[in-house]
Structure 1
Amino acid sequence: MPITLLENSQTTYYDYIVSEQKDAETFLFIHGLGCDSTLWDDIIPFLKPKYNLVVFDLPGHGRNKLSENVGFSLSLIFSDIEHILFTENIPSCHVVGYAGGGNIALEAVLKQKKWVRSLTLISTPIFMPFQIGEQEMRKRFATIEEGKKQQVFKSIIDGITVIASEERKSRLEGMMNRVDIRSYKDFYKVCKNSVQEYSPEKFKNVDLPIFLLVGEFDATFPPKLHLFDDTYLNSSRFLIIPNAGNAVMVDKPKQLVELLDDFVIQYVLGSPPSLKGRGYVDKLNFELQSIVNSGIRQVNSRNTIELHFLTSFKVLLDGKEIEGKWNQRKAKQIFSYILYHQQVTRDQLYDVFWPDLELTKARNQLRVSLNHIKSIIEGFTGDDLSKYIDIGRDLIVTSVRVKSDGENLLNEIEQLKLVSYSDRAAKVVELIARLPEVLFPGLYDEWVLELRSSIEMELTSIIEDLLDEDLDPSEEINMLKYLIKIHPNEELYYEQILFALEQERKYSEMDFYEDKLNSLK
């Protein structure tokens, strides 16, 4: 049924299917990017005996053509929906959004639209690393600009279904061929911009039944990605549909209908069981939420903090050194610990830095130290510390991307293990030549000493393995010198280097190591 919106003379096409059941609940379906209202054709026959159904075409999709002077926008879509609901006297409904249609539904919830009674999101992206979203958009748009629209759409269709018949795939292809390219691009940008603005904090006041659904074999937004979505929304229900792809309504229409019906009955109209209020579960959920939130903030952050403490202490924010009184109130030590681990508890900090103090005094010491760190960061950036470090009641987590030269060194050592023996010796010699005389100078807390020992033992293992090979004499000597430096009481290394020096006729150096060896006997 077409309706014309008077304010912009746009015609919106929709279908309102009235159930035979009196006082039936109403579903409103919002299709995804490049689709149209016929996307829902396979589930309508199973739902209409029990529910009223509203399906419509988004601007520039299906039968809904956009005038040149009208652009695809959320305000236009909400105006369409509200006009449909007013015309059909529908005060509220259960909204089902697929992919980008789910993002439109979420925006309605965030704008506190009263007509949303419950929300079902099917294969809808909520968390998406910023750079990946940007790259995919540029890739799609560039291919379309090259006149290869069909290539883009075929790739999408092949990726969103796993068991659909050729007839259903052909129907999807027909939908995408009807879409207006300007609207397609604008719809994509609306979704991308929405996703980039999402955060757990943004949804914390959302209080309505939410159902997240994803196909087991969704190749566009895999189930693992949607696990993050669940933490954003604290949804009422989250399910993975077996043997289904991204377009669940195409691959598993009957199962989708059963799940929608059960959700409305049990979670909207009924009282589902709840795990809340159980001490262990509440604590576990809180910890998991904190961990995920921290990781999400880091991935989406445009800022990077670099911790340099391998040779000397220095902290950089986006390439600029944060200067301040780091040598006071254990600021250098505590900040290094937080940045290196990225998530710590207050109890860990008490144990590491004030193991001998009673708890009350340790708490006071930590409070003073954190306030001092806060003054350094805020004095340098002009921003609240929470933009970079989130200090909670129990957890302290980084809110930005973190790099450290200590972590880089450990990764470099791991990479050495993958290098062939023929190249490994030279790379080891080059690495140990770059290392300072003492790792992490000026830091003597137990965790730093353990980190130093771990690095030295990893290098020792690699070098000892290499010493069994036929090495270049100079490389062998340099590696043995390093081993003697970190293991000055190991007689075997002295004997090995004396033999190597003699082979190279470096007699003057032999005297030094002979004296050292004799002092050990």
Structure 2
Amino acid sequence: MTTQTYTQNGISYTYNFIDSHKETVVLAHGAGMNQATWKPLLSYLSEYNLLTFDFRGHGESDGFEFDVSWQVFHKDFRGLLHELSINEYHYIGHGHGFFFILDYITSYQPANIQSIVSLSTPGSYPKNVAKKGVRLRKSLAEEHGYSFLVDEMIKQFIHQQSSRHVDLLKKSFHQLNPENYFKLLDLNTSNFSYDNLLSINEPVLLLSGELDQNYPPQLNFISTNYFTTSKYYIIPDASNMVHLDQPQETARLIKKFIRQLSNHSGSTITVPKHFDELQQSIQSVLKDGMSKIDNNYSLKLNLLNGFMAIYKNEKLEGKWNQRKAKNIMAYLAINQTVTRENLCDLFWPDLTVTNGLKNVRVAINHLKKIFEENDLSTHNFLEIETDRISLATNIDCDVKDLIDQLNFIEKESNLNMKLIKYERVIKELNFPLFEGLYDEWLLSVRESIENRLRNILLYMIDHADEAGHSESKDEYKLLLEQLN
């Protein structure tokens, strides 16, 4: 075995290489941790080529200050795989490491991931509950200091509070810029998407600590229904970091999972005809349930057929047409967060930065007033910081809903049902889209959506006869004319 510990493009990594015929396992740590947290587990996985690394900003990697975004992490990871000529691999992720691979897969659809292992990390989580958890951590750090927060988090992460493990975690947390730690949490909580999970086809193993209070076993068990192929085990006498509390048992289950994948390669299992329908029913129940949880708190924003803000089925009245209020809310609904300077560029490009920032301040105060006039507290919806404005809650936006619906229908294998579903969605729209919103950034979104709808309608016209929808061709053509 050869062990390489190097830095590539500022990223510190360790590669234990046996030979090219052995399978490779990549391990990615959680937010605030580093690759050293994998050491107790690695000795039980010695038959594999093993790659561990420190995410940017963590451990020995560069990045005390950097743009905390999935794109940055994607680039770093792809660089490592290229540097080491890793073509196929099994992936083990804990916390941020698991959320990262979900985003990586939905962004690039890589064909070289053989399996995914989640350590005590659910595929989905009620967004508002997650955001409340982040706000709690922020308040603890503000009131008592970052070190106090770290001590409290460690109590949740490991059941076996050995001084060796406690010191290891304290060191790793303090290697990360606290500001970036909270940005990572915000990034992870904004990433929960039920529909994205359904698009993941890789086999998934979920391991959960019996005593985990951070992500309870019940929550991780529900996640098994999000993935096409999945297995789930609860590890006794372990909290969130099962690889520290019970490394041997964790490794045993991982090896068993990988071994079974190899043994079943090329084999087929006959399942009852109703199995797919049953699975879809379970997924529908879960999706509806998660949606209800989120919608109990979320603000709904309709943009496609004209601007409207709705909270708990009540329209939010106010002077939305003044001070760029609806424009800023529309941008946040689609992009989640924006800096004050970006708002200047978007809505007051002809003003100096100083005057632009004054307008931003006035616009934000105007938004506050609208919420207050509806007896609502602004901080339940917006996080207003010195340099940026972000959503403090999940917003149910019809633009995102439309895109999700089109993506879902695209996977429908029954041509007849596919055309029916497309027709139902398109008939609910009024053209032109985004009436009353004419910002340049939104016009590009509109153009992208309308181009996609045109292609869909052309597809519907071409396949109408084949699907037995000949009588609808003229209607499809009329809808296409509305778009043109």
Q: Structure 2: how far apart are the matches of 1:37 and 1:30?
A: 7
**Equivalent residue for 2:314?**
319
**Equivalent residue for 1:17?**
16
State how many pairs are aligned.
Answer: 309
Q: Percent identity?
A: 23
**How far is 1:233 from its partner?**
2.0
SS at match of 2:220: helix
Please point out which of 232, 243, 254 is paired with 2:237. Answer: 243
Q: Is 1:287–2:281 an aligned residue pair?
A: yes
CA contact (8 A) 1:118 1:268 kept: no
Q: Structure 1: how far apart are the matches of 2:112 and 2:266?
A: 23
**How far is 1:122 from its partner?**
1.0
**Equivalent residue for 1:188?**
185
CA contact (8 A) 2:126 2:294 kept: yes
> Where do 1:225-264 residues align within 5 Å?
225-264=219-258
The AA in structure 2 aligned to 1:103 is F
SS at match of 1:203: helix
Q: Is 1:214–2:218 an aligned residue pair?
A: no
**Equivalent residue for 1:130?**
127
Larger C-alpha radius of gyration, 1 or 2? 1
CA contact (8 A) 2:33 2:59 kept: yes
Deviations 1:436-464 (A, max 9, x none): xxxxxxxxxxxxxxxxxxxxxxxxxxxxx
Q: Is 1:143–2:140 an aligned residue pair?
A: yes
The AA in structure 1 aligned to 2:187 is V
CA contact (8 A) 1:103 1:194 kept: yes
Q: Are the structure 2 counterparts of residues 78 and 317 from structure 1 closer, same or farther at C-alpha, using a change threshold of 3 Å?
A: closer
SS at match of 2:198: coil
**How far is 1:156 from its partner?**
1.0
TM-score, scaled to structure 1: 0.54
Q: Structure 1: how far apart are the matches of 2:238 and 2:25?
A: 22
**Equivalent residue for 1:266?**
260
Q: Structure 2: how far apart are the matches of 1:287 and 1:71?
A: 40
Q: Are the structure 2 counterparts of residues 114 and 79 from structure 1 closer, same or farther at C-alpha, using a change threshold of 3 Å?
A: farther
**Equivalent residue for 1:36?**
34
Q: Structure 2: how far apart are the matches of 1:287 and 1:227?
A: 17
The AA in structure 2 aligned to 1:207 is N
Q: Are the structure 2 counterparts of residues 272 and 241 from structure 1 closer, same or farther at C-alpha, using a change threshold of 3 Å?
A: farther
Q: Structure 2: how far apart are the matches of 1:113 and 1:95?
A: 12
**How far is 1:270 from its partner?**
2.7
Q: Structure 2: how far apart are the matches of 1:139 and 1:303?
A: 19
TM-score, scaled to structure 2: 0.58
Deviations 1:193-223 (A, max 9, x none): 112xx11x32333211111111111110001
SS at match of 1:27: strand
Q: Structure 1: how far apart are the matches of 2:113 and 2:276?
A: 28
CA contact (8 A) 2:25 2:48 kept: yes
* RCO higher in structure (CA 8 A, sep ≥6): 2
**How far is 1:303 from its partner?**
6.0
**Equivalent residue for 2:106?**
110
**Equivalent residue for 1:86?**
82
CA contact (8 A) 2:7 2:61 kept: no
**Structure 2: which 5+ runs fail to align?**
301-310, 317-424, 435-484
**Equivalent residue for 2:95?**
99
Deviations 1:86-120 (A, max 9, x none): 12111121111001210001111111134422211
**Equivalent residue for 1:202?**
196
Q: Structure 2: how far apart are the matches of 1:219 and 1:58?
A: 25
SS at match of 1:41: helix
> Where do 1:414-433 residues align within 5 Å?
none
Please point out which of 56, 63, 66 is paired with 2:63. Answer: 66
**How far is 1:22 from its partner?**
5.3
**Equivalent residue for 2:43?**
45
Moved over 4 A (4+): 271-276, 279-284, 302-305
**Equivalent residue for 1:2?**
6
**How far is 1:274 from its partner?**
7.9
Q: Structure 2: how far apart are the matches of 1:38 and 1:303?
A: 39
**How far is 1:283 from its partner?**
5.0
Q: Structure 1: how far apart are the matches of 2:162 and 2:269?
A: 40
